[in-house]
Amino acid sequence: MQRRADNRAWFAVAPVVVVVAFTAIVPLMTVVNYSVQDIFDVDTRLFIGFDFYRETLRDPRFAQALLRQLAFSALVLAIEIPLGIWIARALVRNQGKSATGFLILLSVPLLVPWNVVGTIWQIYARPDIGLLGAAVTALGIPYNYASNVLSAWVTLLAMDVWHWTSLVALLSFAGLSAISPAYYQAATLDGANAWQTFRHVELPHLKAVLTIAVLLRLMDSLMIYTEPFVLTGGGPGNSTTFLSQYLTTMAVGQFDLGPAAAFSVLYFLMILLLCWLFYTSVMRGGDDG
């Protein structure tokens, strides 16, 4: 006789469902409600259907901010993931010597609040008094993140890499530490070189942690707000105005709640789609690793 599944454990999940409902689902539903109405005040609203969606999708500033956002996320991932893995591999090779100290040092940027990170780099990269800015300027390289687009982007990327590579490194370190030495011995016996060992032994074992690392960094970089707001204020011009800054300008600066809500829904769906595509493409080969 087939045994009936006991689903009582789902009751244990109920508190989380309630918390998520109150902190995420109900607010999201409210945003959807706002997005189809022109809000004049708390009691005066006009239903206008999808007009704000159409307006946002055809807004060139939205398209520009979206392109900047995608470029920023792609660059951040392209730097932080390989760099994090490289640092983790170096730490694993030196385990027992200086690895513990480096792990503690690596954790420090993760403990710094976003606005403080922005302030640190705002001062650090100033071409007149900042250590980095003054050093780069002394080398004869034209550098000013407040007036030069390239400088602003390089500084933002450096700041994000400084802040978040540690997360990738720590996750990768945990993944690499869990690999049995037998795999390395087998690889050595087979005559595998360093790249082959990485590609066929380490990388498959890192799949789960790297999926989490990429997902976290992808979602977080797509939502970046505080650091560029403090460092560059979205400038020079609009060159570092990402989606969240543009959204905040609409919602808080101009108090255009309807358009901002439509923007938010589009923003949410974009992040949801990108994360789902990434997750399913990575997990398609099975859940080994």
* Closer by beta carbon to another protein, 30 or else 98: 30
For the window 236-275, what string marks contact with another protein as x by the rule CB under 8 A?
Answer: ------------------------------x--x--xx--
Considering only residues 59 to 118 of the shown chain, the ones binding another protein according to CB under 8 A are none
Cis peptide leading into residue 236 (ω within 30°): yes
Smallest separation (angstroms) from another protein to the CB of 56: 9
* Closer by beta carbon to another protein, 8 or else 58: 58
Smallest separation (angstroms) from another protein to the CB of 7: 8
Candidates 2, 41, 58, 193: give the one binding another protein (CB under 8 A): 58
Smallest separation (angstroms) from another protein to the CB of 259: 13
Distance CA 210, CA 198 (A): 14
Secondary structure (DSSP) of the chain: -PPPP--TTHHHHHHHHHHHIIIIIHHHHHHHHHHTEEEEETTEEEE-TTHHHHHHHT-HHHHHHHHHHHHHHHHHHHHHHHHHHHHHHHHHHTTTTTHHHHHHHHHHHHHS-HHHHHHHHHHHT-TTT-HHHHHHHHTT----TTT-HHHHHHHHHHHHHHHHHHHHHHHHHHHHHTS-HHHHHHHHHTT--HHHHIIIIIHHHHHHHHHHHHHHHHHHHHT--HHHHHHTTT-STTTT--HHHHHHIIIIIS--HHHHHHHHHHHHHHHHHHHHHHHHHHHTT-S--
* Closer by beta carbon to another protein, 26 or else 138: 26
* Closer by beta carbon to another protein, 45 or else 205: 45
**Which residues touch 162 (CB under 8 Å, ≥6 apart)?**
109, 117, 121
Per CB under 8 A, does 152 bind another protein?
A: no
Smallest separation (angstroms) from another protein to the CB of 11: 15
Smallest separation (angstroms) from another protein to the CB of 168: 26
**Which residues touch 131 (CB under 8 Å, ≥6 apart)?**
124
Q: Total binding residues for another protein by CB under 8 A?
A: 26
Smallest separation (angstroms) from another protein to the CB of 152: 29
* Closer by beta carbon to another protein, 37 or else 122: 37
Candidates 2, 139, 280, 287: give the one binding another protein (CB under 8 A): 280
Interstrand relation of 37-41 and 44-47 (parallel, antiparallel or unpaired):
antiparallel
Q: Give the torsion sign (CA, 48, 58, 152, 155).
A: positive
Smallest separation (angstroms) from another protein to the CB of 47: 5
* Closer by beta carbon to another protein, 149 or else 271: 271
* Closer by beta carbon to another protein, 19 or else 26: 26
Considering only residues 18 to 57 of the shown chain, the ones binding another protein according to CB under 8 A are 26, 29-30, 32-34, 36-37, 39, 42, 45, 47, 49-50, 53-54, 57
* Closer by beta carbon to another protein, 37 or else 221: 37
> Which residues lie near another protein (CB under 8 A)?
5, 26, 29-30, 32-34, 36-37, 39, 42, 45, 47, 49-50, 53-54, 57-58, 266, 269, 272-273, 276, 280, 284
